[in-house]
Structure 1
Amino acid sequence: MTTDGGAPAPLYITGTGTALPGDPVDNARLDKVFGISEEWTDLFVGTRTRHFGWDLGTGEVLHTLADLCTEAAGRAVAAAGTDLQDLDFLVLATTTPDRLLPTTANEVADRLGLDHLPTYQIQAGCSGAVQALDLARALIASGHRTGLVIGGDVTARFLDPHRTPADLPAQELVNYVLFGDGAGAAVVSARPDGEGIGVRALLHRFTGRGRPPGQIIDWDGPVRRAPGRTMLSEDYRTIEAEVPGLAGEICWELLDTTGWAPEDLDFLLPPQLSARMTRHIVETLDVPAAHEVSCVADTGNTGNALPLLQLDRLVPRMTAGERALAVVVESSKWIRAGLALEKHREAEPNR
């Protein structure tokens, strides 16, 4: 199930769930609160709404990462029809844990009533959900039966409601319109129970040697008060230039691994940095037979949650035998990642 050869270990996604905090925040609201031009956001970013776990007026945190991940996980477990006590492991991927210790993964396990099982927390950007599935594959190949994969991010520590555009350089300002908060989860198994979407190939590869990062998120803490320190910066122009080409490499490598042709694809889950960039990437990939499954225009970029939010939208649309590619690019230090998915086809009964 990796692109490095060898017999693939079976991995199936049997249930998915998501969580988005509060009401959607549209571009008019961002314009009113931060003075960020609604017309500029519509034209250059294309994202219509996003959700925040904090109050735009006061900055008060209303939904933590643990809140969102627990909610998404509960929905995924219910969708899979799995008993919580049957879970053998939990893997959580995030850029923005609620604190260093205890880990958000263990906070979520506690809230779900889980105990006596291995838990893992992966520090990652947008590719984290794929990295978590890669770890889940290894755990299932080692003998575990069923596990829970979660991805999520929150922006409360990095977007300041008291700043104005006049205070912000462009590499900070763009983050106020790109990002939103959210979490997604998937129950995974060695058996095609529930939804039974098989992971036929999985790509996760660091490709950033010698390349400057496209995004930097600095550490939180007292040093944040240092004058001129930037907590969150985005080299949007470089990302816009590099991601389409990387997405094409991912797409063709996954097709080569599975032996599928472009016309065999029923669905495409493209990278989700912004709605405008997603449209450009889909046009560049040129797989016209595949139906696009995107969410970024409605949710904003939710980081580690994004592939799982897309997957949650894909699940009710897939029928037996249909195929999909999920393409993920992490621009913080350039990771190529992706999934080749196929809806399980029940074997014909003996006659």
Structure 2
Amino acid sequence: MKYSKIIATGSYLPAKVLTNNDLAKMVDTNDEWIVERTGIKERRTISENENTSDMAYQAALKAIEMAEIDPSSIDFILVATATPDSVFPSTACILQHKLGIKGGGAYDMQAACSGFIYALATADSYIKAGLAKRILVVGADSLSRIVDYTDRGTCILFGDGAGAVILEASDEVGILGAELKADGSYGSILTSSGHLYNGQIKGSPYIYMDGQAVFKFAVKSLTAIAKELLAKVGMTSNEINWMIPHQANLRIIEATAKMLATPINKVVVTVDRHGNTSAASIPLALDEAVRDGRIKRGDNLLFEGIGAGFTWGAVIARF
């Protein structure tokens, strides 16, 4: 049986740091209030001359460097993003061009904060089906461009960044299983409805979120899908070396870990420094833990994420 195995990781964060004290100058909030409710202390924001594809490109280069491969050997590119450079062409095609790659498939996947999980599961399926041998999967978002900085309920949460992994067909155990779900009836509790219509923006161009509703749904859904996937692959939470969750809110991460009986010291947490970077948050956290030595070859990893749609999912992989 062929597996898809993560052979490399990479990430990129914009240079500009936006602290809680910076936000306190823009909206009625303060550092203590934000940290207590979210665990976030700072986040990064993209510069005016950067695009989502630029962040994706930098993260991809880091992964390619770690893998020690020729970019032309990548035969498929999936970019998970809710903030593409343009309506079309896709950010994946723009990234492909920047990497100097021609041929092979490339497209964007829009599952909001669950995007990386969806893209990882899709890439795994492509490799197992023999449709590709080496796939670049990137999660990249520039949410600061759709945040209303007069709304303290949302502007404190979101940041920008990109993370990447390279998956390769392997005889060694890699991705063990995935589970994906969606329920569109919950779409109204987290949405950004703005879209182009006859040259104008129709709907709100900003993120709207019902924070309490999202929190309740997230903890319940993430716990359930993680337990479902563990049972599916025949593992227990005790066999997971590291949980790498979507970095939305520290309280959601802690509550989910508790429900799964996973010690918090076995959870990779970056939300305090990155904020919620949507599809980028899981690969950003993964790359940090790989590069600082916490995650080692042979470790069992549980990825889980939830986002607007509502969409949610989980992946278990041996690194």
TM-score w.r.t. structure 1 length? 0.83
**Offset from partner CA, 1:18-76 (integer Å, 9 cap, x none):** 0110132211111123343323212212201100004xxxxxx1321011000001111
Larger strand percent: 2
Q: Which residue of structure 1 lines up, in the alignment, with residue 167 of structure 2?
A: 188
Identity of aligned residues (%): 26
Q: Secondary structure at the match of 1:174?
A: helix
Cα gap change, 1:210 to 1:290, in 2 (>3 Å):
same
* 1:178 partnered with 2:157: yes
CA distance in 2, matches of 1:279, 1:314: 18
In structure 1, the residue matched to 2:256 is 281
- Structure 1's unaligned 5+ residue stretches are 1-7, 55-60, 344-351
2:13 paired residue number: 20
Q: Counterpart in 1 of 2:115?
A: 128
Task: Read off the aligned partner of 2:206 and give its amino acid letter.
Answer: M
Are the equivalent residues in 2 in contact too, given 1:247–1:327 (CA < 8 A)?
Answer: yes
Q: Cα distance, 1:279 vs. partner? A: 2.2
Q: Which residue in 2 is equivalent to 1:347?
A: none
Report the number of matched residues. Answer: 314
Alpha-carbon spacing, 1:202–1:225, altered in 2? closer, same or farther (3 Å)? closer
Residue 259 of structure 1 corresponds to 234
Separation in structure 2 between the aligned mates of residue 249 and residue 160 of structure 1, nearest angstrom: 32
C-alpha distance in structure 2 between counterparts of 1:211 and 1:19, whole Å: 31
Letter in 2 for 1:188: L
How far did 1:81 drift? 1.2
**Quick check: 1:224–1:231 contact (8 Å CA) kept in 2?**
no
The alignment yields a C-alpha RMSD, in angstroms, of 2.2
Aligned partner of residue 69 in structure 2, secondary structure: coil
Structure exhibiting the larger radius of gyration computed from Cα positions? 1
TM-score for the superposition, normalised by structure 2: 0.91
Equivalent residue number for residue 68 of structure 1? 55
Question: What is the alpha-carbon distance in structure 1 between the residues aligned to residue 195 and residue 26 of structure 2?
Answer: 24
Deviations 1:131-188 (A, max 9, x none): 1122212322224211111111102431255xx4xxx4xxxx3221110000111111
Query: Is the alpha carbon distance of 1:123 and 1:212 closer, same or farther for their aligned partners in structure 2, counting shifts above 3 Å?
Result: closer
SS of equivalent residue, structure 2 residue 45: coil
- Unpaired segments ≥5 residues, structure 2: none
Match of 2:206 in 1: 231
1:36 to 1:289, Cα distance in 2 relative to 1, 3 A:
closer
Q: 1:117 aligns with which of 104, 108, 129?
A: 104
1:48 aligns with 2:41: yes
**Cα deviation, residue 16, structure 1:** 0.6
Looking at structure 2, the residues matched to 143 and 85 of structure 1 have their Cα atoms a distance apart, in angstroms, of 16
Opposite residue 56 of structure 2, the aligned amino acid is C
Instruction: Confirm or deny: 8 A CA contact 1:270 1:326 kept in the other structure.
Output: yes
2:294 to 311, 317, 322: 317
Separation in 1, partners of 2:139, 2:220: 25
